[in-house]
């Protein structure tokens, strides 16, 4: 919760700066798209870490480069991002083979950028918080899932809920819908129009659902690395 309060405070400050600067500076609107490689960091209450494998997804949206002073910019964005993980033995409904969950998030990152002139363009270095909300997704396994006499087959929907008691039969409960964390990025802007960026995203929110209103003993964080290209108007 302390992280969320910090991010909300930073968000209010950045919104104020955004509103002030937009009235006095030329904002560049951009479109961005690329590949997202994500995995889950899962730690049980005994401190043991469950290994997960990364999966690819897409990441696309709008960016807004707002000059602050000199080579300093603020870049809020609206992003659609696919995340998830793959695991050889997940334990979902008795599954003991390869399990994959891919989910979609709507994210709002707000990065502080440093863009010095280098060659014919600008080097881009940045960092900042993000907040995201889970929209849903799909899970799949190598073989059909059988619970008693019921065959669920080998795929289904992924859902987001705050508490496991609100789960739905046959659906995989990925975690709480609200996620937040920090971004670290580096890239290059070519001639002030085209961009290439690499970004690491570290989830700080424990999205592991509660159990009948009680805080979970387990920890689940999102982790991702993405590569994107962009065009600015």
**Binning pLDDT at 50, 70 and 90, where does residue 199 land?**
very high
Q: Name which residue leads in pLDDT, 133 or 47.
A: 133
Least confident of 6-15, 99-108, 183-192: 6-15
* Domain annotation for the chain: domains and CATH numbers: 2-232 (2.40.160.20)
Please give the pLDDT value at position 19: 54
Q: pLDDT tens digits, residue range 162-181?
A: 999 999 888 999 999 999 99
Q: Share the mean pLDDT of the chain.
A: 87
pLDDT band for position 88 (50/70/90)? Answer: confident
For 3-56, the pLDDT digits (tens) are: 555 555 555 555 555 555 554 568 899 999 999 999 999 998 888 888 799 999
pLDDT at 125 (0 to 100):
98
DSSP the chain: -HHHHHHHHHHHHHHHHHHHHHTTS-PEEEEEEEEEEEEEEEE-TTSPEEP-B-EEEEEEEEEEEEEEETTEEEEEEEEEEEEEEEES---GGG--S-EEEEEEEEEEEEEEEE--EETTEEEEEEEEEEEEEEEEEEEEEEEEEEETTEEEEEEEEEEE-SBGGG--TTSEEEE-SEEEEEEEEEEEEETTTEEEEEEEEEE-S--PPBBTTBPPSSEEEEEEEEEEEEEE-
Identify the CA nearest to 85 among candidates 202, 207, 222, 218: 222
Lowest mean pLDDT among 104-108, 146-150, 162-166, 196-200: 146-150
Residue 153 has pLDDT above 70, yes or no: yes
What local confidence, expressed as pLDDT, does residue 24 receive? 52
> ∠ at Cα 122 (119, 130), nearest 5°?
155
């Amino acid at each position: 919760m302390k992280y969320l309060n910090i991010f909300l405070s930073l968000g209010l400050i950045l919104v104020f700066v955004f509103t002030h600067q937009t009235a006095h500076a030329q904002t560049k609107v951009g479109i961005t798209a690329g590949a997202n490689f994500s995995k889950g960091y899962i730690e049980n209450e005994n401190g043991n870490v469950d290994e997960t494998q990364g999966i690819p997804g897409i990441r696309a949206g709008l960016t807004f480069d707002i000059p602050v002073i000199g080579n300093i910019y603020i870049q809020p964005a609206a992003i659609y991002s696919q995340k998830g993980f793959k695991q050889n033995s997940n334990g979902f409904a008795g599954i003991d083979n390869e399990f994959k969950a891919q989910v979609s998030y709507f994210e709002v990152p707000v990065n502080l950028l440093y863009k010095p002139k280098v060659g014919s363009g600008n080097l881009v270095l940045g960092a900042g918080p993000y907040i995201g909300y889970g929209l849903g997704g799909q899970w799949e396994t190598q073989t059909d899932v059988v619970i008693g006499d019921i065959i669920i087959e080998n795929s289904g929907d992924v859902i987001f809920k705050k508490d496991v008691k609100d789960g739905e039969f046959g659906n995989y409960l990925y975690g709480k819908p609200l996620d937040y964390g920090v971004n670290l990025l580096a890239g290059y802007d070519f001639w002030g129009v085209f961009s290439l960026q690499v970004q690491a995203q570290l989830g700080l929110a424990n999205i592991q659902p509660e159990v009948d209103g009680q805080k979970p003993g387990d920890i689940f964080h999102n982790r991702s690395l993405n590569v994107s290209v962009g065009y600015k108007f």
